[in-house]
Amino acid sequence: MQKLVKYFVFPATLVALSMSYASAQQRQGIKSVPLVTKPVTGVPDKEMSILSIEIQPGGASGLHTHPGDEHGTVVEGTLMVKVGNADYTPVEVGQTFSAPPNTPMGIMNKTDKPVRVINVLILEKGKPPSTPVQ
């Protein structure tokens, strides 16, 4: 039992804590509020989530992936968005952005005012909605 703790449980705990810390370090100044989550009709392993997201000045998500499609619309301010290998580009009020499943992406607010976004995610049931890119 002692070997199990020494060689598996302790290292696994350290990895989990470091991933949690890295995720918290990456995602700063962002508040996400789930508005609705519903099953996708005819696709039993998928669900659709709509989120209201507020990014404070200087806030950033860090690079991350989603296990499904992401579609966002900026409703206030100017958001900087990076999808895949592209550079960060500005997305302004009324404009949209999209990221395919499992594609590294990031958002940030480089302005001095909050940015508000409505996001729609199509996710696989039982999977986390996002994973930090290491």
Residue 68 · residue 129 · CB < 8 Å = no
Asked if the structure places residue 64 within a domain, the reply is yes
Query: CB 110: neighbour CB atoms within 10 A?
Result: 15
What CATH number is associated with residue 45? 2.60.120.10
**Tokens 């609705």, located at residue:** 36
Asked if the structure places residue 16 within a domain, the reply is no
pLDDT tens by residue, 19-73: 333 344 457 899 999 999 999 999 999 999 999 999 999 999 999 999 999 999 9
How many folded domains does the chain comprise?
Answer: 1
Asked if the structure places residue 1 within a domain, the reply is no
In terms of C-beta density within 10 A (0-12 exposed, 13-18 middle, 19 or more buried), how is residue 1 classed? exposed
pLDDT tens by residue, 105-115: 999 999 999 99
Q: How far apart are the C-alpha atoms of 69 and 75, rounded to whole Å?
A: 20
Q: How far apart are the C-alpha atoms of 82 and 84, rounded to whole Å?
A: 7
Range of the structural domain that residue 101 is part of: 28-132
pTM: 0.77
